[in-house]
Amino acid sequence: MIENAQVTGLPQQALPTPRHEGAAGPSSAVRGIDLTSHQLGVALTWIRRGMPVVPCSRTDKGALVPGFGKDATADQLRQFFDEEDVRAWWTGRFKRAHVGLLTRRLVVVDLDVLKAGAAEPTGRWAGCQHGTDVLERLVAEAGADWPDTYTVVTPSGGLHLYFEQPDDGGPLIGCATGEGTTAPHLGPLVDVRGVGGYVIAAGSYSSTQGQAYTRTSPASLRPRPLPAWLLEKLRPTTTSPLSTTTPRPARVPVEYATRAERYADAALRGEVDRVASGQPGERNRILFAAARRLGELHHTAPAVLAETVVRDELLDAALRAGLRGGDREALATIRSGWTKGISTPAPAVAA
């Protein structure tokens, strides 16, 4: 995935809050408001602050446009950032649609209300009536304080806690619903939305309840980094064989017989060094360029520039450099660059 296609930084301006925030009730909250214009305004507010949006159903909140999953390409994601596409959606076939906020650079912890008639949690979670009860128990177990971050109340009385995706070179946080045995599940009545997911944005109105998703935190409070204890719970405990915590064995020098093989080996070493020293904001572009370049040279020395060799060497370098997204993002970029490189016709050789 092209790193610049994702949000490269959280906005510094105050995030949007709905009009008529202190309305007396559902009917007064929507009276006199052109919901089509309002929803378009909310969508434009978010994308102008670097946050991609997607139109969602007014009834079940399902996304109405596909293509933003965790493995989405930069080309697939572009429409969710594009003002022209967003205007077309909310002035055309998706008038008055909910505004979904893609959580590619965010982790949103969604704390739900126990629905009427639903079975109450048991065992460890007995007595919990709201996701806040579950999170309070996790906070207490960690000996921590309730996380102070950007917070949105939903029309049903739930809470959305917004955090930044971790930028430490480890895996990004994905999505989970309710209780489960693996990360990023946290417990019943708690959903997690990260890469590949979305939440309904602050400012968007619920047509069924006549109320907006409303920011309750101070306007100056930004989505904060995940507390260490919460990040630990949201990430899998296992690491990949090529994670930054597992050193690779030292490379054994090889004497190559031909000039082409020596040149290919030097090119591989040079690209690996370039990727390993990449700076933030440029690492993904450099990684793609390196994989493409080595793919273009593959035909000159296929034994030296075997796909598995190039992949492993570049992946190790990308992780050492701290490429955002960990193994999954790096491998996707390497695969894309390599495919582009080997499909480039070999230069004609003079007779």
pLDDT tens across 114-142, in order?
Answer: 999 999 999 999 999 999 999 999 999 99
pLDDT digits (tens, 9 = 90+) for 228-246: 999 999 997 644 433 344 4
* DSSP assignments along 261-310, one per residue: HHHHHHHHHHHHHHHHTPPTTTHHHHHHHHHHHHHHHGGG-TTTT-HHHH
What pTM, to 2 d.p., does this model score?
Answer: 0.62
Distance CA 18, CA 41 (A): 10
Nearest alpha carbon to residue 49 among 86, 90, 17, 16: 16
Task: Kindly state the percentage of the chain with pLDDT values over 70.
Answer: 82
Taking residues 205-222, report their average pLDDT: 89
Read off the pLDDT of residues 135-186 as tens digits, 9 standing for 90 and up: 999 999 999 999 999 999 999 999 999 999 998 888 999 999 999 888 999 9
Cis peptide before 55 (omega within 30 of 0): no
Report the distance separating Cα 49 and Cα 272, nearest Å.
35
CATH architecture of 3-234: Alpha-Beta Complex (3.90)
pLDDT at 339 over 50: yes
Q: Which one, of 326, 323, 316, lies nearest residue 242 by Cα? A: 316
Delimit the domains of the chain by residue range: 3-234, 259-342
Contact 246, 239 (CB under 8 A): yes
Q: Which of 130, 154, 163 is nearest to 230 (CA)?
A: 163
- Compute the CA torsion angle 22, 55, 172, 178 (nearest 10 deg): 70
Query: What pLDDT is recorded for position 319?
Result: 87
pLDDT tier at 25, thresholds 50, 70, 90: very low
Residues recorded for the chain: 351
- The stretch 315-335 carries a mean pLDDT of 81
**How far is 136 from 347, CA to CA, in rounded Å?**
64
pLDDT for residue 260: 84
Q: Which residue has the tokens 């939305």?
A: 193
Q: Which two tokens stand for residue 88?
A: 């077309």
Q: Would the pLDDT of 85 be above 50?
A: yes
Half-sphere exposure in the Cβ direction for 224 (13 Å, CA): 16
132 DSSP assignment: H
Q: Are 99 and 201 in contact (CB under 8 A)?
A: yes
